[in-house]
Chains A and B, each alone.
Chain A
Amino acid sequence: MIAALIFYMFAGLAVASGVMVISARNPVHSVLFLILCFFNAAGLFLLLGAEFLAMVLVVVYVGAVAVMFLFVVMMLDINFLRLREGVAQYLPTGAVIGLVLLVELAVMFGGWAFAPDVEALLAAPMPAASEMTNTEALGRLIYTKYVYLFQASGVVLLVAMVGAILLTHRSRTGVRKQKIYDQVGRTAANSVEIRKVSTGGGI
């Protein structure tokens, strides 16, 4: 009973904050509602007993990705009035795209079925669920059976990261940068000099 109530609370809040993400007028509020939505999704994971996924969702999405979102959205210089100027103009196009997506979703749900061996897997999960915590169970699967997929997704992320750096990096000239090694390597011998200065003569 209580579990069901909590489920409806998390699910309802997740849907409501999801709606607020697209309907909030202020983009910063949108991101904040997105964060609330992530939280509720984490709560749903907890109810499923997937505590590792719940924590990782909070650490990765809320703690890192959404901070970057918020960072970018706050830095944008947005004029809210001008943002809404073209709404009527773009509405038909947007509606058509939305309709196409909806139809696609409907088609997918219509032809959706569990893979044939799912029943067997659910009946006997490979590391037995009662024997170990789900962190350990995930680790055992990821690093043994699915190790190639896991490594491949790591490589995809690495490529994305290198690409992002490559696209945005520009080496500027004329910037005075601190060269730490040069600075640490400085000694009194090569940077300070004692001269005898004659009165009125200067150096």
Chain B
Amino acid sequence: MLSGLMPPELWRLIVIVLQIVAIVLPLLVAVAYLTYAERKVIGAIQLRKGPNVVGPFGLLQPLADGAKLFLKETIFPSGANKAVFVIAPMLTFILALIAWAVIPFDQGWVVADINVGVLYLFAISSLGVYGIIMSGWASNSKYAFLGGMRSAAQMVSYEVSMGLVIISVLITVGSLNLSDIVLKQKETVWFILPHFPMFIIFVVSILAETNRAPFDLAESESELVAGYNVEYSAMTFALFFLGEYANMILMSAMTTVLFLGGWLPPMDIAPFNWIPGIIWFALKICAVLFIFLWVRATFPRYRYDQLMRLGWKIFLPFSLFWVVLTSGVLVAFGWLPGQG
């Protein structure tokens, strides 16, 4: 009806823009309430109350924080490289948002159902390091620079084992499309069961990839003040902050799609499959996010050499071994997809 009035390209463009808004707005709300959840959960673990002053149960706290950051002054250090200094937080935030284009929220609920979805996600998450390294360099500050350098080495190292973990899953599925990965888990089982060790490695790697505790060496307060974002203030800082939390949600979504069956209910029987898939998807993301917060409140920070040892000497050989084992098992039992 309405689509008849406009040229089809324009109509498609409008639909895509609306889809993007429909993803970005809930995502930003989710990010805001993730910071609230983090403070509440860690508060509960440490026998404190957490934020409870602004609004009922402190529910308006994230809005108050946002307003505060928005009204503050953006300060440029005099020795900073202005252009790169401004681009870095924008880059972090944009990268955290564009990756959502390929995430399937439910059957067919995806903005871009591309054939190389997993590679796209992997490419975007490997770009996240630029925001950090650029901000570290452009700040022209020793603390920021050290934080940026550490984080660059850390993220590049953990990407290797993440890639191998993803490869094990991909061999099992036989497709790089994220919806196909979930549908394959509908036919068989959630990949957390056959690939359980890989699930553990993946969860630890996404902690390292998002620079979260216990691998938050990029911003370890005790030695680097605040690491790469030490010179940032107001909205430029807020963009880093939003980017970091949006990345956490993205990585949780990736874990959900790869290992926890995406939008699928735990069992395809009456009370479970009444609930729409997107609710299951959100619940699973929340479960993985809870692991993020739980880990942060539980473990002390890793030392840098221990972090590198874990990535290169334990995760990399083990995930490589698992790729070989997975392909061996698939070939031996004739389960290899695309062979039939």
Interface residues of A (CB under 8 A from B): 2, 26, 28-29, 32, 35, 51-52, 55-56, 58-59, 62-64, 67-68, 70-71, 74-75, 133, 135-136, 178, 180
Contacts and interface: CB of A to CB of B under 8 A. Distances in A.
Given A67-B152, A70-B137, 18 more contacts: A26-B81, A32-B84, A35-B130, A51-B115, A58-B127, A59-B119, A59-B122, A59-B123, A62-B123, A63-B156, A64-B126, A64-B156, A67-B130, A74-B149, A133-B116, A135-B115, A135-B116, A180-B309
Interface of B: 9, 81, 84, 114-116, 119-120, 122-123, 126-127, 129-130, 133-134, 137, 145, 149, 152-153, 156, 159, 176, 305-306, 309, 338
Contacts of A135: 115-116, 176
B134 A55 contact: no
Contacts of B153: 71
A58 B127 CA distance: 8
B116 A71 contact: no
Interface centre among A35, A59, A62, A63 (most CB of B within 10 A): A63
Contact of A58 (B123, B133, B149, B159): B123
A59 B152 contact: no
B157 to A, nearest CB: 11
A95 B92 CA distance: 41
Nearest to B117: A55
Secondary structure class of chain B's binding surface, majority of residues? helix
B134 A32 contact: yes
Nearest to A70: B133
B116 A55 contact: yes
Contacts of A62: 123, 126-127
A58 B122 CA distance: 9
Contacts of A29: 84
A2 B134 CA distance: 33
A169 B84 CA distance: 34
B126 A59 contact: yes
A130 to B, nearest CB: 14
A178 B116 CA distance: 42
Contacts of B123: 55, 58-59, 62-63
A4 B145 CA distance: 42
Given A32-B84, A59-B123, A74-B137, A67 B129 contact: yes
Contacts of B119: 52, 55-56, 59
Given A32-B134, A55-B123, A67 B84 contact: no
